[in-house]
Amino acid sequence: MWRNILSKSANAAEVGKANLRRERRFSTAIPGPCIVHKRGADILHDPWFNKDTGFPMTERDRLGLRGLLPPRVISFEQQYDRFMDSYHSLEKNTQGQPDGIVSLSKWRILNRLHDRNETLYYRVLIDNIKDFAPIVYTPTVGLVCQNYSGLFRRPRGMYFSAKDKGEMMSMIYNWPAHQVDMIVITDGSRILGLGDLGVQGIGIPIGKLDMYVAAAGINPQRTLPIMLDVGTNNQKLLQDPLYLGLREPRLEGEEYLSIVDEFMEAVHTRWPKAIVQFEDFQMKWAFETLQRYRKKFCMFNDDIQGTAGVALAGLLGTVRAQGRPLSDFVKQKIVVVGAGSAGLGVLSMAVQAVSKMAGSSETAANRNFYLIDKDGLVTKDRKNIDSAAAPFAKDPGDIDGLREGASLIEVVKKVKPHVLLGLSGVGGVLKAMRESDSAKPAIFAMSNPTSNAECTAAEAFKHAGGHIVFASGSPFENVDLGNGRIGHVNQANNMYLFPGIGLGSLLTGARIISDGMLQAASERLASYMTDEETQNGILFPSISRIRDVTSEVGAAVAQAAVAEELAEGHGEVGIKELMQMSKVEMVEYVARNMWFPVYSPLVHEKNGSN
């Protein structure tokens, strides 16, 4: 169900603010120089340094570019406008075509710019994040992964395959950048809700790192997308002669883990302070690798931990939306559908939060949570229960007439939950939410991409009622409820947290990423919204505020790292300075360290390697 998910037009106030921002950003202040070890055509073909027609004449002389470009120098602002004009023409020319075709055309035009001129690419991405995030990130990135072999033109990131065993330590030095700060790695085994896409899953680390640049200001030259190709069990891909990955079944057990171990050792040998985000691993490896590495490396699993923090912030926002004190969170009845890495991550963090608030044991805190997977309600009667799901299984004595494997509709009818999170399935379930014990029930349809969403926003408001709070993992338009009323759509996506988790950890030189740091991130996101916003069903900020959100979240993560004595300092900023920073100073420190795309004067230096 691909639909036009792009927002229509910004209101006048937004346009005014955007113009102001634009004036400031295209100001003539001269940025610091950037050392380059190349000359001539090599620079034009390097997207990190290329300025296309924007090289000033003096620089053309210095770098041996005179004559390699048309004579006229075009300003960054003119280049920006020219790109946006082409983008808008493409939008006009593809009107009426199927959504998937339109989205892929938009992705292609952005990707071509990414391949040619990173500075301009990131500037248009940052300035138009609300329109472009759905193209370079969820949901279009899912379609890109599905069509990766056909779309492939140039490699991006690094590929480590099962065939590289024993070679990784030397391979890692093939990466051209001296410094890497942020790595996102996948093995392609669970790409969004699209299943095993093998090597084609590389689109996900690329999209996540684009968000790191846009939302957290990580310098793109210091990001590294990684595909760990350990085979695929996707039969269609295995039989596709043009498939670009290993045409072998996935490695399992110790063989699999030894590949990941080797990669982690290699990466930390070359860049000991790089942060590694694990993304879209199938559940068993998501949990296993998190346990295996989290005390040893500065890493986290975004699907388990990032998602949990965003969902918890949304759940706390739901309590505020009801006009109730946060302490009432302990009384909320919550049904979580999906016992995978995301569902169990959410449950685990939410149960910990209730236990902390109520001062009760985690077993007691679990009372109001119900977990449902493809076989229905999970109880202690479940045979062969997964060890990660076991702590959340209901005691048959506690569930008042419900039985092991009870269907979602049975559970919702009986429990009358305040929140339904995850898969809500069909209209019948949504209608049952009308009988919720909450005056403002919440539906979180968090699965991605759009085609996998448990329900659309329109369906949720239609069946469950106009009074609900609604959030989805992929973006939907707000819903017109008639009589001038609008059903607000929130995007409950881990993009609100992972950039801040990464940046806060980086800027403190955190040794590891602790539960306390993740909890601080979630709490800061929850408190970002005003009472007025939450009471209007607005639980998460607009994505156009993402850098501001990330400054706050990053600062909260940084402060928690310092408080837990996990910070080792970053560059010139030592532990002492970090410890002395107030909350406001920490936010400023984080914001000040965000990279922003401007053309820096290039200065040539001989004998370098980049």
Ligand X SMILES: O=C(O)C[C@H](O)C(=O)O
Look at residue 338 and give the partner it binds from ligand NAD, ligand X, Mg ion, none, a contact being a CB closer than 5 to 8 Å depending on partner kind: ligand NAD
Binding-residue pattern over the window 229 to 268 for Mg ion, x denoting contact by CB under 5 A = ----------------------------------------
Among 183, 211, 230, 283, binds ligand NAD (CB under 6 A): 283
Sheet holding 469-472, edge to edge: 376-377, 369-373, 334-337, 419-422, 442-445, 469-472, 489-491
Residue 280 annotated in ligand binding: yes
Query: Of residues 294-353, which lie at the interface with Mg ion (CB under 5 A)?
Result: 303
Residue 187 is a binding residue for ligand X (CB under 6 A): no
Q: Residues 327, 362: contact at Cβ < 8 Å?
A: no
Q: Give me the residue whose beta carbon is nearest to ligand X.
A: 138
User: Of 131 and 303, which CB lies nearer to Mg ion in the complex structure?
Assistant: 303
Query: Other C-beta atoms within 10 Å of 352: how many?
Result: 16
C-alpha span between 549 and 566 (Å, rounded): 23
Which residues neighbour 177 within 8 Å (Cβ) at sequence distance 6 or greater? 221, 222, 224, 610
Residue 50 annotated in ligand binding: no
Q: Please tell me the count of residues contacting ligand NAD according to CB under 6 A.
A: 26
Residue 452 is a binding residue for ligand X (CB under 6 A): no
Shortest Cβ 259–ligand NAD spacing (Å): 21
Closest CA to 582 of 548, 552, 559, 554: 559
Residue 337 is a binding residue for ligand NAD (CB under 6 A): yes
Query: Of residues 163-202, which lie at the interface with ligand NAD (CB under 6 A)?
Result: 190, 192-193
286 token code pair: 């998501």
Binding-residue pattern over the window 537 to 576 for ligand X, x denoting contact by CB under 6 A = ----------------------------------------
Among 118, 196, 229, 373, binds ligand NAD (CB under 6 A): 373
C-alpha span between 288 and 341 (Å, rounded): 11
Look at residue 420 and give the partner it binds from ligand X, ligand NAD, Mg ion, none, a contact being a CB closer than 5 to 8 Å depending on partner kind: none
Residue 429 is a binding residue for ligand NAD (CB under 6 A): no
Residue 452 is a binding residue for ligand NAD (CB under 6 A): yes
Shortest Cβ 169–ligand X spacing (Å): 29
The enclosing H or E element of 491 equals strand 489-491
Binding-residue pattern over the window 587 to 606 for ligand X, x denoting contact by CB under 6 A = --------------------
536 token code pair: 């209007």
Residue 262 is a binding residue for ligand NAD (CB under 6 A): no
Stretches 6-14, 58-66, 443-451, 528-536: which one binds ligand NAD (CB under 6 A)?
Answer: 443-451
Residue 207 is a binding residue for ligand NAD (CB under 6 A): no
- Cross-strand bridge partners of residue 442: 419, 469
244 token code pair: 């670009």
Residue 280 is a binding residue for Mg ion (CB under 5 A): yes
Q: Give me the residue whose beta carbon is nearest to ligand NAD.
A: 340
Among 309, 340, 541, 597, binds ligand NAD (CB under 6 A): 340
DSSP 97-163: S-HHHHHHHHHHHHHHHHHH-HHHHHHHHHHTHHHHHHHHSTTHHHHHHHTHHHH--S--SEEEEGG
Binding-residue pattern over the window 342 to 371 for ligand NAD, x denoting contact by CB under 6 A = xx----------------------------
Q: Residues 518, 305: contact at Cβ < 8 Å?
A: yes
Shortest Cβ 19–ligand NAD spacing (Å): 32
Residue 494 is a binding residue for ligand X (CB under 6 A): yes
Residue 59 is a binding residue for ligand X (CB under 6 A): no
Q: Residues 265, 245: contact at Cβ < 8 Å?
A: no
At residue 377, the 3 state secondary structure works out as strand
Shortest Cβ 164–Mg ion spacing (Å): 24
Residue 277 is a binding residue for ligand X (CB under 6 A): no
First vs last Cα of the chain: how many Å apart?
44
**What are the b/e assignments for 73-103, b being 16+ CB within 10 Å?**
ebebeebbeebeeebeeebeebeeeebeebb
User: Of 169 and 409, which CB lies nearer to ligand NAD in the complex structure?
Assistant: 409
C-alpha span between 159 and 164 (Å, rounded): 9
Q: Which amino acid is at 448?
A: N
Catalytic residue among 38, 51, 208, 394: 208
Among 118, 303, 459, 523, binds ligand NAD (CB under 6 A): 303
Among 103, 490, 493, 593, binds ligand X (CB under 6 A): 493
User: Of 491 and 508, which CB lies nearer to ligand X in the complex structure?
Assistant: 491
DSSP 169-189: HHHGGGSS-S---EEEEE-SS
Q: Residues 599, 34: contact at Cβ < 8 Å?
A: no
C-alpha span between 100 and 80 (Å, rounded): 26
Catalytic residue among 137, 243, 256, 496: 137
Residue 138 is a binding residue for ligand X (CB under 6 A): yes
25: exposed, middle or buried (C-beta count within 10 Å: 0-12, 13-18, 19+)? middle
137 catalytic? Reply is yes
Shortest Cβ 144–ligand NAD spacing (Å): 15
Closest CA to 323 of 493, 524, 469, 473: 469
Residue 493 annotated in ligand binding: yes
Handedness of CA 443, 186, 207, 119 (dihedral sign): positive
Q: Please tell me the count of residues contacting ligand X according to CB under 6 A.
A: 9
With DSSP H G I counted as helix, E B as strand and the rest as coil, what are the percentages for the chain, rounded to 5? 50, 10, 40
Hey, which residues are catalytic here? 137, 208
Applying CB under 6 A, the residues found at the interface with ligand NAD are 190, 192-193, 283, 303, 307, 310, 337-343, 372-374, 423, 446-448, 452, 473, 492-494
Applying CB under 5 A, the residues found at the interface with Mg ion are 279-280, 303
As annotated, the binding site for (S)-malate includes: 190, 448, 493
